[in-house]
Structures are given as structure tokens and as C-alpha cells.
Structure 1
Amino acid sequence: MTGLPASDGHYGEDLFEPEHPQESERIDAAALIYDPVTTGRLRALGPRPGGRCLEVGAGTGTVARWLLQEAGAAEVVALDRDTGGLGGLTDPRLRVITADLRDEGLDPGTFDLIHARFVLMHLPERRRLVTRLARWLNPGGWLVLGDAVEVPNPLDTSSAYRRTMDAMWQALRSTIGTDTSQIPAYPHFLREEGLRDVAAELVCPPLVPDGPLARFWSETWNRMRPALEETGRVDSTVIDEALAQLASPTLAELGPGMLMAWGRRP
């Protein structure tokens, strides 16, 4: 394959420009769908009022805001390589760290809750990073990981939607090392770290025409169009057909699910 950066790049630096005028809107479209799932699980685990929380890959701060305003956290540390999307979130209990989770010198402290969503799947060092995150837990603290899992229709491997989605995963893997194959093993990883009460769930939000999730994929594929075509799996005509599917009342596709796994430090 030619024209694609090496797989040691960082998420977004080659495929998505953080300063793009629609980047926050793209991220927030997904947050509209996944935040209720995330906060529902965090609420069920019962983050302690007055606890310290670490939000890894804070994005535009939607989960950090919930932790501050709804969960009653004493402090929320929002960690991201690009923290420009957090400018509208002001709270004396919020501490923002602009850093890469992989930075060897990173030491944000210890926490009663650590949450990372759609972060580790993009980092080739994910297994080592699970160990790092688990070590930052206070006794009794929870580590909650959420990443994407594909649930493709085995009876249809040739639709424009499926071909474009497959091309996206290939492009992400080739450019920045995204790999979703290990995500079903997250509960085992947490158990290997000595965590207790380990469990997991898989949620597939509905993909409806012109809904927030359809808008997220539409914007993502439009922005990734050159990289998608570089894979050789799709051309511009296929991508256009897939985009039309996302807006069509005949849309009947199952989008990627989110697997959430969690465990508690004894």
C-alpha cells in the first residue's frame, strides 16, 4: 500500500485535524449515542461522591462534565493529547492534562474511577496500558474500558456500507495501528491485573437514517475519503453509495457495537 503513513502515528494527526471546524461536532455526534450507555454503566458501578476520577481521551468533555455535575466527583482529571475541545468546561474541580497516555513520565496520581472510551483500540501498546491504568487505581476503585467491536452481517459482505466500513478499519490499522481484535479479551486483561468483580457488556446502538450515529460515520468517511480509497477496497462511487445509505429510509445496517469491561481494585 502506498501513500499511507506508517502505523506508529497518533490517532487523528494524519486522518483528522483537531482544528477542523467540524471536529467537535463529529465527536459530539457519537457522544449523543454513547454517553447514555457510558454514564448508565458508571452510575450502576456507583462512583463515590467525593472521589477522584480520571477521564482518558476526554474529547469535548461530555463524560467529564457528567462526573462533575451528576456523580459528585471531588476532582476530575481530563487527559487527552488534544485538550482544545475542553475550553468550554470550567469547574474548579477539573484538572486538564495535555499528554499522551503512552508518555513514560506521565503520573496523574491515583483514582477511585478511571474511564477510557475509544482510546486503547487506537494504541498498539494497549495491553501494557491496561496495566498502567490498573496501577493508578485506589483500593476499591473501578477501571472501565470501552472500545468498538464489529458485528458484521455474514450474509452480506458486499454492500457499499460494509465495504466502506471494512476499508475504514483497514485504513485506521495501516495509518495509526487501530486494532479491535483484542477488545473481547478486555475482561481477561482486567482479571490478569488482579481486579475483582470483572464483567462486560456489548451494546449496539441503533443506526438510523440521518441520526447522530449516521452523521458521525458520514463525517468520518468523508474526512477519510483519500485513505479509504488508498486501501483498494473502495472507490469514490462506493463511498458515495455508502453515504447515501446512511441517509436513506431503507437503511438496515448494524453499526459497530461498544464493548464495556470493568473491574475493581481489591
Structure 2
Amino acid sequence: MTGSPDSGGHYGQDLFEPEHPEEAGRIDAAALVYDPVTTRRLRALGAGPGSRCLEVGAGTGTVVRWLLEEAGAAEVVALDRDTSDLDTLSGPRVRVVTADLSDESLDLGGFDLIHARFVLMHLPERRRLVSRLAQWLNPGGWLVLGDAVDVPNVLDTSSAYRRTMDAMWQALRSTIGTDTSSVPAYPHFLREEGLQDVAGELFCPPLVAGGPLARFWSETWNRMRPALEETGRVDSAVIDDALAYLASSELAEIGPGMVMAWGRRL
């Protein structure tokens, strides 16, 4: 992944370095929450025997393994800028590609299913990349995009939780170029690419103290502390209060969710 042209930063370099001992666990905590929703949608769209699939931003490989072991895909290409967590993937049905999606020389062939989750929001020229992914579809193939959206409580602007969450989005944007503002438009982007049977959904998982999503946000905020404080929105005491709230029985929030949008190439 890479940052925006004006941020000068890169996901995996300026934030969330893959070699950090807690990074794989942070990613897997989110996967525990989102994988069941993702795989249910992929199965409904026909992921299965005979299909050639591309997993963009493969991370620790949880969706890749599902495509291989549960869906029975004929071949899965796992693409990421860092593939160190995919060392255990091997065999004739899987191909691990270490590359940047924005690399113009990248040529991976055609696919029956392309899935990208929590990837495009971190990339510059994300609209152009949607076009590129759509062009890689075989006739009848599906493109499935998933990215984050926040659902803030507009009556709460001053709690430690809200201030820390807002500081996080600002820090992500200024550091690595993350931008979720266009995520609700993904179904329109797919229609503009000529895809058919376009639809979308919003999934907001429960944010429960001690649950995997609370662990994910706690680890994310802890890892981002210096960047959060640099925004001027929060100091260390506010972050500590927000982290304590995530772990407390008083937790009562609708946390950020995921928009999924999909469309099929005729």
C-alpha cells in the first residue's frame, strides 16, 4: 500500500510496519470480525471450484486460505506490497505476488473474482485503480470492494473516544493519505465501469469490550500515539481515557463499519 501524493507517507512504512511484533495480531483481530461477512458475500457471488481469484492486499492471508480451502478456487493470486506473512502459502493453486497495485507494469491476467478490502482507502488515485481492477475481470467476473466508513454520533463531539477516533482519521490522512470520503460512492464507480448487477451494503460490527474489534482499535491507537498527539486534537491523557473506555463495561458505541460494493463484468 502507499500513501497519497501530498501525504508523503506509506502504509507499512510510516505506520503499521509489518515487522512490528503486534502487527499480524492487529490485522487478524479485524479479520475475525470481517472475514465471516466477506466470505459469505464472496460465496453468494459464486466464488468456488474453477474460479481464478485475486486477493488485493492479502495481509496475513485469511481470505486467501478461505478461497483455497473452503471455496475450492482453481487459483488464487495473493497481492501485497509486503508478503512476509504469506510464507506458509504454497502449492500449485496459489501465487504470491509482492508488488504495488499502482505499478503500471503489473500484469496478472484475467480473474473471475477480484476482492480488495481496506486497501483502496489508503491509496492515491483510488478511482483510477477501481478502473484498473475492473479491466482485469474475465467476462462474468465479479469485483468486490470493501472499505471503512465511520458512523459518528453527531451528539458527541467531546468524549475521549470521539476525539481519539477523529484524531486517528486526521492522522491517517496526513501521514499516509487515507481517505474514506468516497467509499459510499463505490457502487457508482462500479456502474461507471460498465459493471452489471451492482449492489452494496454497510456492515457495522458490534464494538464490545474485550472483543476482537475493541482489541483492533486499542492496538491501532496505541501504535499511532505520536501521530495522534501531533494532530493537536488529543494528548496522552485523552488517549488513555479512550483506551480505558474501549476496555470498560461502559462502552456503548457504533464503531466504524465497512461498505462492501460489488459488480459483474458482462
Shorter-normalised TM range? over 0.9
Instruction: Report what 1:149 is aligned to.
Output: 149
Instruction: Report what 2:84 is aligned to.
Output: 84
Secondary structure of the 1:77 match is: strand
**Larger CA deviation: 39-48 vs 184-193:** 39-48
Contact 1:26 1:216 in 2 (8 A): yes
Instruction: Report what 1:194 is aligned to.
Output: 194
In the TM superposition, residue 48 of structure 1 has moved relative to its aligned partner by: 4.0
Code of the residue aligned with 1:18 in structure 2: it is: P
- Is 1:253 aligned with 2:263? no
CA distance in 2, matches of 1:6, 1:16: 19
**Structural mapping, 1:1-266, within 5 Å:** 7-266=7-266
In the TM superposition, residue 98 of structure 1 has moved relative to its aligned partner by: 0.2
Contact 2:168 2:228 in 1 (8 A): yes
Secondary structure of the 1:53 match is: strand
Matched positions, count: 262
Secondary structure of the 2:224 match is: helix
Identity %: 83
Q: What RMSD, in angstroms, separates the aligned Cα atoms of the two structures?
A: 1.1
Can you list the C-alpha shifts for 1:142-167, whole angstroms capped at 9, x where unaligned? 00000001100111111111110110
Secondary structure of the 1:112 match is: strand
CA distance in 1, matches of 2:248, 2:85: 31
Secondary structure of the 1:243 match is: helix
CA distance in 2, matches of 1:88, 1:218: 28
Contact 1:56 1:78 in 2 (8 A): yes
Can you list the C-alpha shifts for 1:104-149, whole angstroms capped at 9, x where unaligned? 1011111000000000000121000000000000000000000001
Can you list the C-alpha shifts for 1:34-92, whole angstroms capped at 9, x where unaligned? 00010011111112411100000000000000000111111000000000111122332
Secondary structure of the 2:197 match is: strand
Contact 1:48 1:112 in 2 (8 A): no
Secondary structure of the 1:132 match is: helix
CA distance in 2, matches of 1:135, 1:8: 28
CA distance in 2, matches of 1:8, 1:142: 33
CA distance in 2, matches of 1:124, 1:184: 17
CA distance in 1, matches of 2:76, 2:156: 44
| TM-score, length-scaled by structure 1 | 0.97
Unaligned runs of 5+ in 1: none
Contact 2:205 2:255 in 1 (8 A): yes
**Larger CA deviation: 155-164 vs 51-60:** 155-164
Unaligned runs of 5+ in 2: none
Secondary structure of the 1:128 match is: helix
CA distance in 2, matches of 1:191, 1:39: 23
In the TM superposition, residue 6 of structure 1 has moved relative to its aligned partner by: 5.4
CA distance in 2, matches of 1:6, 1:196: 34
**Larger CA deviation: 82-91 vs 209-218:** 82-91
CA distance in 2, matches of 1:248, 1:87: 37
Moved over 4 A (4+): none
Contact 1:67 1:73 in 2 (8 A): yes
CA distance in 2, matches of 1:229, 1:92: 47
Code of the residue aligned with 1:93 in structure 2: it is: R
| TM-score, length-scaled by structure 2 | 0.97
